């Protein structure tokens, strides 16, 4: 798998954090911009 990527949603204060694999997308978190910033980082495999 590659590193974590993030999409910032335009109409809502959320990010979608995901990993790309060859044949799938793994969603790690739907993260609100103001609540617990960075909490999803512990979900990224090392």
Contact (CB, 8 A) for 13 and 34: yes
Q: Which residues contact 30 (CB under 8 A, 6 or more apart)?
A: 14, 15, 16, 17
Per-residue model confidence (pLDDT) at position 24? 92
The pLDDT tens digits of the residues spanning 1-46 come to 458 888 888 899 888 989 888 899 988 888 887 777 666 666 666 6
d(CA 4, CA 17): 7
Per-residue model confidence (pLDDT) at position 1? 44
Per-residue model confidence (pLDDT) at position 33? 77
Full-model pTM: 0.64
């Amino acid at each position: 798998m590659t590193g974590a990527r993030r999409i910032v949603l335009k109409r809502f204060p959320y990010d979608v954090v995901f990993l790309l694999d060859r044949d799938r997308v793994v969603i790690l978190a739907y993260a609100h911009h103001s609540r617990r910033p960075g909490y999803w980082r512990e979900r990224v495999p090392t």
